[in-house]
A and B are shown apart, each in its own frame.
Chain A
Amino acid sequence: MKRIFIQNSLFQVLFFLIISVVIGFGSNWLKDDPIPLFAVKLKIATTDDLLSDIVTESVLRAIGLDQARKFHNEGVVFVDARDLEYYEEGHIPGAWNSNHFMELIFRLDSLQGKDRSIVTYCDGDDCGSSEDLAYDLQNEGFTKIFVFVGGWSEWQQAGYSIKK
């Protein structure tokens, strides 16, 4: 009887599924920094996030085109999260490329420390690498990071200056 049971395909599939669910949730629960069970979308930056010069806590927020343009005019550092070949084809003027991450961290830290604003961007709404880069920078201790969600596509469509 037991033999027939464990030869059953459904039993075998459920065996792997149940073990994975238990270990997956269990290991997350035991971690010091567990991820929430449901993802929270990146919040849009509020006025407080944008104005706070004295950082009390780490800020990682999304911004739109207008705010990105404002930051650009104020000389905030922009970091292009796209591959180098796309960066070389064209990018937001003054933007740095993120392909050499350790070098990027060193340059950012030397130039402005870890508590000044940084804007990351990639192709547009769906690319995701700007958000990944933002989290990587946050993990390295940078405290004010803004993700320009519309990215390169929106910047170009708006007709703002670009660098080739």
Chain B
Amino acid sequence: MRFITQSSIFIISFRLIIGGILVFASLDKISAPGEFARDIAHYHILPLGTENLLALVLPWLELTVGIGLILGVFITGASILSMTMMGMFIIAIGSAILRGYNIECGCGLKEGEMVGVGKIIEDSIYFLLAWLIYKRSGNWFEILPKAG
């Protein structure tokens, strides 16, 4: 893995991929937080109606972290949060599958996308890319904090 974490091309590509996906996924959720809250509610994970709190914050977290990764702002923090979000999605989707729920994923990438093993594999790949960004050995095209 070291040759990847030492390669500026790989790391910058991963930043653009994860950043782009996060920004794209956030847009629908930001425009319709009520719908996103209902998508979260279908997972039956959060108690006491707290899905609305998550639906208000998570899309903006995706957007700001995505922009951070693309522009090169606080990449370490952005990669930690990317891994955390992907981990959360994997657990949520996995628990829905184990409980036999046939529900919409609410992932924000494709309309009507359902939970499934494919989504877990996809999010695991994104998790791996975020981890590689975190383990990077150089600060290529990072505007804050400046390298050196």
Please name the residue on chain A nearest to B68 by beta carbon: A16
Give the docked Cα–Cα distance between A23 and B103 (Å): 29
Chain B count of residues within 8 A CB distance of the other chain: 41
Please name the residue on chain A nearest to B55 by beta carbon: A35
Give the docked Cα–Cα distance between A85 and B72 (Å): 45
Number of A-B contacts (CB under 8 A): 104
Q: Is the CB of B41 within 8 A of A16?
A: no
Q: Is the CB of B104 within 8 A of A128?
A: yes
Please name the residue on chain B nearest to A31 by beta carbon: B33
Distance (Å) between the CB of A139 and the closest chain B CB?
10
Q: Is the CB of A12 within 8 A of B103?
A: no
Residues of B within 8 A of A14 (CB): 77
Give the docked Cα–Cα distance between A24 and B52 (Å): 11
Scan A36-57; emit 1 where CB is below 8 A from any B CB, else 0. Answer: 1111110000000000000000
Q: Is the CB of B35 within 8 A of A24?
A: no
Instruction: Answer whether residue B25 sits at the interface, using C-beta atoms and an 8 A cutoff.
Output: no
Distance (Å) between the CB of B78 and the closest chain A CB?
7
Give the docked Cα–Cα distance between A15 and B76 (Å): 12
Scan A5-36; emit 1 where CB is below 8 A from any B CB, else 0. Answer: 01101011111110111011101100000011
Residues of A within 8 A of B64 (CB): 16, 19-20, 23
Q: Is the CB of B52 within 8 A of A39?
A: yes
Q: Is the CB of B77 within 8 A of A127?
A: no
Distance (Å) between the CB of B122 and the closest chain A CB?
20
Q: Is the CB of B49 within 8 A of A28?
A: no
Residues of B within 8 A of A17 (CB): 61, 81
Interface residues of B (CB under 8 A from A): 30, 33-35, 37-39, 41-42, 44, 48-53, 55-61, 63-65, 68, 74, 76-78, 80-81, 99, 101-104, 112, 144-145
The 8 tightest CB contacts between A and B, nearest first, are: A12-B77, A128-B42, A39-B49, A38-B49, A12-B74, A20-B60, A20-B61, A24-B56
Other A-B pairs beyond A14-B77, A123-B102, A128-B41, 7, CB < 8 Å: A23-B64, A39-B49, A39-B52, A83-B112, A127-B103, A132-B38, A135-B34
